[in-house]
Amino acid sequence: MKTAKLGAIFLISIMALAGVGAGYAAWTDTITIDGSVNTGSVGWHFTGVSGTWAWKDVVEETCIVTTTSTKPNDNCILIAYSKAVIDPSDDHRVTLTFDSLFPCINFEADFTITYTGTVPGKINSIIVRDFWPDPGDETVMDPYTTLDVTIYDEVGGLVKEWIDTAFDPSIFCGWQLHEGYTIYVVMRIHLGQDSDLMGLTGNFDMDVEVVQWNLYPYQPL
């Protein structure tokens, strides 16, 4: 009787210990490394525009040129204008319009770009697509078109400028921009006194790409 009880207790003990052995994993200790990567950005957008309005004062018989679309006085009528307009739904797009140009006036459409990226960027490519209805228009217009381009740093200091530069976008590639830099661009058309320049129309499309500075020059795969 006693032996049976002892035997039962012993057996139960063995089973209990076996249960304990199966339920517990090996001892471990863990070190944790928490990683956090806060990425910067590459980006720029148009932040300002201006233009040229040429008026005729019908009383004084004079030509008045303004930088705003406000009529100088009640005697003036608008003859021609050039302007830049930022797309209200996309501040990465600006439209330049030169309308009814005539000789001997600097018709200017200008705009400002601000670089807002926190990672330095370099102007990587400028792709110009001409859609002149008549190829001859492009050949005629290009000689009368110049650019002023000025780069300012984040506190307004001069970094680089090109004045009256021929329309050759490639000279701007490789220039580096930092957060807060601004680029002021004036596109100027000054027609010569040449009757062959009358009645011409045309348009163009231009994409300017900036790339993270450490990948310049960048060729997409």
Partner 1 sequence: MKQRINKIAVMFIVSIFALSGLGVSYAAWTDTITIDGTVDTGELKWEIETGTTGSTHGVGPDWNCFFDLNGGIRQLAPEGKDVADTIVWLEVATHPHTMTVTINNAYPYYYDHIAYIVHCYGDIPLKIWMLNFIVDGIIVETLYHNDWVADPYVYLDLDGDGACDVEIWWGNPLNQQMEFCDRLDRSFEILVLQPAPQGEPLTFSIEYVAIQWDKWTPNG
Question: Nearest distance from residue 109's CB to partner 1, in Å?
Answer: 30
Binding residue (CB under 8 A) for partner 1 from 3, 39, 193, 195: 39
Question: Encoding tokens for residue 128?
Answer: 């110009």
Taking the C-alpha atoms of residue 5 and residue 155, their distance in angstroms, rounded to an integer, is: 94
Instruction: DSSP letter for 167, please.
Output: S
Nearest CB to partner 1, comparing residues 8 and 16: 16
Nearest CB to partner 1, comparing residues 27 and 131: 27
180 near partner 1 (CB under 8 A): no
77 Cβ partners below 8 Å, 6+ apart? 55, 56, 58
Place of tokens 């005629």: 140
36 near partner 1 (CB under 8 A): yes
22 near partner 1 (CB under 8 A): no
42 near partner 1 (CB under 8 A): yes
Q: Do residues 48 and 66 make contact, with C-beta atoms less than 8 angstroms apart?
A: no
Judged by CB under 8 A, the number of residues near partner 1 is 26
Give the end-to-end CA distance of the chain in Å, rounded to a whole number.
88
Binding residue (CB under 8 A) for partner 1 from 5, 21, 34, 220: 34
Question: Encoding tokens for residue 129?
Answer: 């697509």
Q: Do residues 131 and 204 make contact, with C-beta atoms less than 8 angstroms apart?
A: yes
Nearest CB to partner 1, comparing residues 24 and 131: 24
Question: Encoding tokens for residue 153?
Answer: 């740093």
Choose among 117, 124, 133: nearest CA to 175: 124
Binding residue (CB under 8 A) for partner 1 from 28, 70, 89, 193: 28
120 near partner 1 (CB under 8 A): yes
Question: Encoding tokens for residue 139?
Answer: 């050949």
217 near partner 1 (CB under 8 A): no
Question: Nearest distance from residue 169's CB to partner 1, in Å?
Answer: 23
Binding residue (CB under 8 A) for partner 1 from 78, 119, 126, 200: 119
Place of tokens 């110049």: 146
Q: Which stretch binds partner 1 (CB under 8 A): 46-54, 99-107, 182-190, 206-214?
A: 206-214
Question: Encoding tokens for residue 76?
Answer: 């003036």
Please give the residue ranges that form the binding site for partner 1 (CB under 8 A): 26-43, 118-120, 212-216
